């Protein structure tokens, strides 16, 4: 069964791509069916592990064996990987089914479905790995698939640019991850997880000189691993690819943002908790980057107008929550939020796709509004997703997001208190931008000038069914899984898959602290309705003032512009210099261009000898004979 979970999506991908000409719906049905079977089996594996403690490592074959270095292809099933199997396969199966309706008019949908299944296989290979090399294979696999899916509409220039941007930014993170793996192999002599984690404590005090700076080995390894996580999970400074990734079809956005690529970074940090626990410096950096990402993305989402980009920045912000949870040592809480987030974020993305489908590919929320009665099911599902994301009491986001804030507070450190404060404020901003999206999409006057309100329509059942199933997860996943994931003892469920050197004990928390976040979340609902529906003139007047805050947020803190000037323009100038001076001025001048020019000159000179007069030819022959005789006499 474990083998089938991993390889069914790969088989589906191959059959879907090469069997596209067999019948009309062969690719859609095959890929969706195989991933759905994989999802059902993943749930069974999770249940067997939870109820009967059935875990194990299933070796597929020996991949590399050189001296003492051995790397296997394995399926490592433990509590951490079993949770990720459920998240990846369940969301992926629903995205596949949803795509049957959403991509129904696309002539290249077999290729699209094949890419989705390949994406799923790559992520599964990543999460069940028992060594860093197999993890790196899956890591690069999801990077490749993201490039293929973001740039799926390759005739669209903006989609191509977004795909290239995602690929390049992720290469930066992947380079850091590769260095981290090299350091582990060089010093530990192994890349196997179990062996690495068992001896990590022995190197906790070891230092080495890196670029002339003395640094702790464990800290250095953790920093490079985290750089890899920053790239994949779009953390601050390496986040710029994520909003542009919205150029891909909406199902791609749901799969990337909810279950696969962006969760890989969080998974890596949690999986490597036995290493990170021995470096407080690295954990502090994870916390700081997570805090900055959470508030940065939430602030930018406040002013975005593209419905998908708002949800994308929301993903970025929620990943920030997960990272600062891991940074304060609450790895299990980070995984709990990753689990619940998968349901309501996939719900929001697919719900946004349903809205875009109804408005005939319109994505600007300023051109929507007033369609709650025309799209009753989409309205209900988006309402559930919004309530869950904002942390409305007793929905999934309430349990996991508040748990992160509480554990940051329980850390009882200055950085933990900062993280808790940032988490509370970010929760308020999350509620504001989420309700802004919801109200401007479904409430108020109808603002679309291109199509009439009568032309908008509800999505087909094949698109609504995945939304209904995700809604159930968005409502109940927090309540039913809280005690399992973050119960009284962290090790009851997670066992040895997560390592706690200094476990945070759950203690009594002041009532005012527990109530602060829910109260702010509730206050944001009428506040948003007033500002965006009843009296939008207030914010319009604020935009027209000389205060630069609106433009600062609209331009995403000018990070892209900064990168453009510092890296892109500089790289172009350097490239232009070497191209003109080096390539053209030296290589071409003295290479192919120089040789061809010389040949041309010689040819022209030689051509002049061809006069057509016999006495000229006789003179040349006589001259040649004289030279030959001279040579023979001298010899």
* Amino acid 38: pLDDT: 95
What does the mean pLDDT of the chain come to?
88
Predicted pLDDT of residue 491: 59
Q: Taking the model in full, what pTM does it have?
A: 0.89
In angstroms, the CA 626 to CA 274 distance is 90
In this structure, what token pair is assigned to residue 581? 């001076």
- CA distance linking residue 78 with residue 493, whole number of Å: 10
Of residues 579 and 100, more confidently modeled: 100
Q: What is the pLDDT of residue 609?
A: 66
User: Two tokens at 474?
Assistant: 């968005």
Which residue in 259, 470, 251 sits closest to 381, CA to CA? 470
Q: What is the mean pLDDT of residues 473-477?
A: 93
Summarised one tens digit per residue, pLDDT across range 601-631 is 888 777 776 777 777 778 778 888 888 888 8
pLDDT of 594 > 80? The answer is: no
Lowest mean pLDDT among 19-33, 80-94, 154-168, 295-309: 19-33
In 3-state terms, the chain is what percent helix, strand and coil (to 5)?
75, 5, 20
Tokens for 426? Answer: 């970010």
**Lowest mean per-residue pLDDT among 325-329, 362-366, 576-580, 630-634:** 576-580
Give the CA distances from residue 560 to residues 147, 297, 610, in Å, rounded to whole numbers and listed in that order.
20, 14, 65
Residue-level pLDDT at 400 = 92
Kindly state the average pLDDT of the residues 123-132.
92
Mean pLDDT of 582-589: 75
For 13-34, how does the pLDDT look when each residue is reduced to its tens digit (9 = 90+)?
Answer: 988 888 766 777 888 889 999 9
Question: Tens digits of per-residue pLDDT, 485-508?
Answer: 887 655 578 888 888 887 777 777
Specify burial of residue 104 (Cβ count, 10 A radius: 0-12, 13-18, 19+). middle
Q: Tokens for 598? A: 């010389």
Predicted confidence at residue 315, as pLDDT, reads 92
Q: Is the pLDDT of residue 82 over 90?
A: yes
pLDDT band (50, 70, 90) for residue 310: very high
Q: What is the DSSP letter of 364?
A: B
The pLDDT assigned to 506 comes to 74
Across the range 402-413, mean pLDDT stands at: 90
pLDDT above 60 (res 435)? yes
What pLDDT sits at residue 600?
81
613 vs 58 pLDDT, higher one: 58
- Tell me which residue of 418, 420, 431, 352 sits closest to 391, measured CA to CA: 431
pLDDT confidence tier of residue 67, bands split at 50, 70 and 90: confident
pLDDT at 269: 94
pLDDT at 298: 94
Which band of pLDDT confidence, cut at 50, 70 and 90, is reported for residue 209? Answer: confident
Percent of the chain with pLDDT over 70: 98
What is the per-residue pLDDT for 489? Answer: 55
DSSP helix/strand/coil, 304:
coil
């Amino acid at each position: 069964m474990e083998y089938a979970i991993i390889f069914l999506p790969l088989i589906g991908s191959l059959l879907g791509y090469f069997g596209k000409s067999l019948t009309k719906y062969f690719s859609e049905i095959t890929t969706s069916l195989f991933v759905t079977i994989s999802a059902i089996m993943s749930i069974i594996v999770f249940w067997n592990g939870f109820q009967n403690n059935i875990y194990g490592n299933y070796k597929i074959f020996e991949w590399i064996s050189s001296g003492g270095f051995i790397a296997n292809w394995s399926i490592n099933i433990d509590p951490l990987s079993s949770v990720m199997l459920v998240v990846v396969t369940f969301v992926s199966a629903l995205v596949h089914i949803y795509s049957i309706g959403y991509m129904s008019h696309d002539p290249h949908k077999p290729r699209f479905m094949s890419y989705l299944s390949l994406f799923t296989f790559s992520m599964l290979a990543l999460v069940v790995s028992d060594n860093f090399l197999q993890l790196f294979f899956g890591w690069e696999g999801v990077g490749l698939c993201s490039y293929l899916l973001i740039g799926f509409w390759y005739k669209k220039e903006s989609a191509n640019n977004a795909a290239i941007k995602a690929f390049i930014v992720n290469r930066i993170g992947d380079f850091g991850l590769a260095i981290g793996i090299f350091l582990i192999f060089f010093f530990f002599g192994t890349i196997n997880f179990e062996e690495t984690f068992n001896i990590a404590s022995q190197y906790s005090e070891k230092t080495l000189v890196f670029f002339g700076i003395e640094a702790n080995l464990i800290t250095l390894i953790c920093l490079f691993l985290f750089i890899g996580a920053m790239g994949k999970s779009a953390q601050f400074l390496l986040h710029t690819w994520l909003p542009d990734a919205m150029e891909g079809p909406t199902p791609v956005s749901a799969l990337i943002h909810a279950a696969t690529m962006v969760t890989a970074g969080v998974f890596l940090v949690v999986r490597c908790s036995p290493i990170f626990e021995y470096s407080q410096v690295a954990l502090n950096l994870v916390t700081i980057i997570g805090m900055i990402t959470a508030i940065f993305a939430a602030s930018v989402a406040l002013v975005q107008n593209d419905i998908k980009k708002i949800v994308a920045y929301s993903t970025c912000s929620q990943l920030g929550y997960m990272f600062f949870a891991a940074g304060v040592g609450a790895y299990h809480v980070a995984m709990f939020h990753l689990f619940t987030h998968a349901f309501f974020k996939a719900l929001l993305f697919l719900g946004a796709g349903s809205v875009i489908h109804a408005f005939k590919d319109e994505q600007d929320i300023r051109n929507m509004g007033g369609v709650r009665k025309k799209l009753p099911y989409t309205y209900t599902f988006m309402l559930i997703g919004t309530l869950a994301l904002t942390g409305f009491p007793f929905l999934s986001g309430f349990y996991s997001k508040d748990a992160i804030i509480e554990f940051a507070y329980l850390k009882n450190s200055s950085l933990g208190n900062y993280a808790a404060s940032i988490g509370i404020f970010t929760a308020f901003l999350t509620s504001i931008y989420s309700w802004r999206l919801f109200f401007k999409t479904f409430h108020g006057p109808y603002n679309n000038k291109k199509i009439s309100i009568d032309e908008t329509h509800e999505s087909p059942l094949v698109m609504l069914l995945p939304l209904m199933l995700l809604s159930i997860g968005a409502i109940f996943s927090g309540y039913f899984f809280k005690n399992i994931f973050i119960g009284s003892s962290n090790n009851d469920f997670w066992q040895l898959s997560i390592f706690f050197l200094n476990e945070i004990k759950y203690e009594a928390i002041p009532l005012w602290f527990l109530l602060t976040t829910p109260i702010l979340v509730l206050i944001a609902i009428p506040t948003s309705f007033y500002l965006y529906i009843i009296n939008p003139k207030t914010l319009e007047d604020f935009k027209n003032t000389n205060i630069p805050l609106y433009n600062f947020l609209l331009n995403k803190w000018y990070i892209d512009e900064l990168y453009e000037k510092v890296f892109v323009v500089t790289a172009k100038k350097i490239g232009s210099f070497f191209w003109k001076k080096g390539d053209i001025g030296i290589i071409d001048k003295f290479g192919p261009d120089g040789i061809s020019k010389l040949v041309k000159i010689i040819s022209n000179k030689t051509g002049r000898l061809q006069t057509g007069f016999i006495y000229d030819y006789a003179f040349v022959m006589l001259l040649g004979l004289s030279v030959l005789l001279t040579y023979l006499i001298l010899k």
